[in-house]
Amino acid sequence: MADVSAIGKKLKKKFPNAVTKVKTFRGELTISIDKDYIERVAKFLCGDKASNFDYLSDLCGVDKSRLGSSNTFEVVYHLYSLKKNHRVRLKVEIPASNPIIDTVTNVWKTADWHEREAYDMFGIIFEGHPNLKRILTPEGFEGYPLRKDYPLKGRQPDSLREVYRKGKE
């Protein structure tokens, strides 16, 4: 396994304006990236022979809008290199009021469903995604259930409530 801190240093050198923070905790590298650079950083990490992050194992959203004075969401990318056997986590903050970020489906095909899930659960829009539509909730579902402002009892239209009731009978 490679020294993961070298990946952070290399990325900081290649994209000095993109990398906002590099942190290693218990051998796991987390790199915070400015949202405008996510596609370029992803292409570099995937194509670079030394890092070779050829697999996006997960992408998820995080609602940080009620943590302290933050009013942001976070998109977290978990990357893995099958050949090098090392991992890195990328974190990108986006404003909760305008949750838009570029897609990475052109870098990793697995991003397709991960980005659709983040869209469905958080309302994060992945600019350039080839098929950005809901994947987990039924047609007609209103709102984004993993956002902090989503009501605990839900807020679905009567037509959907009837579908849910019939399913329980």
148 located within any domain: no
Q: Please give the pLDDT value at position 1.
A: 44
CATH number at residue 71: 3.30.460.80
Q: Please give the pLDDT value at position 111.
A: 98
Q: Please give the pLDDT value at position 120.
A: 97
Summarize the confidence of residues 28-56 as an average pLDDT.
Answer: 96
Q: Which of 58-72, 80-94, 106-120 has the lowest mean pLDDT?
A: 58-72
pLDDT in tens, 124-157: 999 999 999 999 998 888 889 999 988 877 666 6
> Alpha-carbon distance 67 to 29, whole Å?
23
Residues 6+ positions from 20 with CB-CB distance below 8 Å? 32, 33, 34
pLDDT in tens, 99-113: 999 999 999 999 999
Which range in 33-42, 135-144, 156-165 is most confidently predicted, on average pLDDT?
A: 33-42
Band of pLDDT at residue 82, cut at 50, 70 and 90: very high
165 located within any domain: no
Q: Please give the pLDDT value at position 57.
A: 97
Strand order in the sheet with 19-25: 19-25, 28-33, 86-95, 72-81, 55-63
Give the total number of structural domains in the chain.
1
Which residue in 28, 86, 18 sits closest to 53, CA to CA? 86
| Adjacent-strand bridge partners of 168 | none
Q: What is the domain range of residue 102?
A: 4-135
Which range in 5-14, 76-85, 159-168 is most confidently predicted, on average pLDDT?
A: 76-85
Per-residue H/E/C for the chain: CCCHHHHHHHHHHHCCCCEEEEEEECCEEEEEECHHHHHHHHHHHHHCCCCCCCEEEEEEEEECCCCCCCCEEEEEEEEEECCCCEEEEEEEEEECCCCEEECCCCCCCCHHHHHHHHHHHHCCEEECCCCCCCCCCCCCCCCCCCCCCCCCCCCCCHHHHHHHHHHHC
> Alpha-carbon distance 128 to 130, whole Å?
6
Q: Which of 7-11, 49-53, 153-157 has the lowest mean pLDDT?
A: 153-157
> Alpha-carbon distance 12 to 40, whole Å?
13
155 located within any domain: no
User: Quick count: other Cβ atoms within 10 Å of Cβ 144?
Assistant: 20
